């Protein structure tokens, strides 16, 4: 099943089985309007939208929605460390590698985050380069910057 969500400039399709989210993908505004009719309203879709609304209005700091993460052991470790980065804070690929006890694996951390199936829940937008610069993001660097600014504004 699919839930479609928008909070400009963010447009998402969220795939779920009625109980757990297994994929979140950034889409264009055009695709959002073309495909939102595919959404079937159910209790879990409504819950997803309720939590997303809270995140985007700043009242919910962490998206605690049931989800599935299927990755390698290394990817799962990266994703768990990334989930630990607090709302409104940033960390670097090198910081995540060090937190995992693998200080020379910053590039591998970046590769694992590139495969993150549930961005925002696994907040890979909070991970930046050691120089503080923004690097790749599935939603585009403008959306990554917007998400960081949104969290900074609402971290309270």
Of the residues 3, 124, 127, 128, only one is catalytic, namely: 124
In the residue annotation, 124 being an active-site residue is answered as yes
Neighbours of 62 (CB within 10 A): 12
By annotation, the residues acting in catalysis are 124
């Amino acid at each position: 099943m699919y839930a479609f969500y928008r909070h400009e400039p963010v447009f998402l399709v969220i795939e779920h089985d009625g109980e757990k989210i297994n994929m979140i993908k950034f889409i264009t505004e055009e695709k959002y309007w073309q495909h939102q009719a595919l959404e079937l309203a159910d209790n879990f879709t409504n819950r997803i939208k309720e939590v997303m609304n809270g995140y985007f209005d700043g009242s919910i700091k962490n998206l605690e929605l049931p989800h599935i993460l299927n990755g390698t052991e290394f990817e799962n470790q990266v994703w768990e460390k990334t989930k630990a980065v607090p709302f409104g804070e940033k960390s670097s690929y090198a910081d995540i590698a060090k937190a995992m006890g693998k200080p020379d694996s910053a590039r591998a951390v970046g590769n694992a985050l590139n495969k993150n199936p549930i961005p925002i829940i696994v907040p890979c937008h909070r991970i930046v380069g050691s120089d503080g610069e923004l690097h790749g993001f599935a939603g585009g660097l403008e959306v990554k910057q917007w998400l960081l600014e949104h969290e900074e504004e609402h971290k309270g």
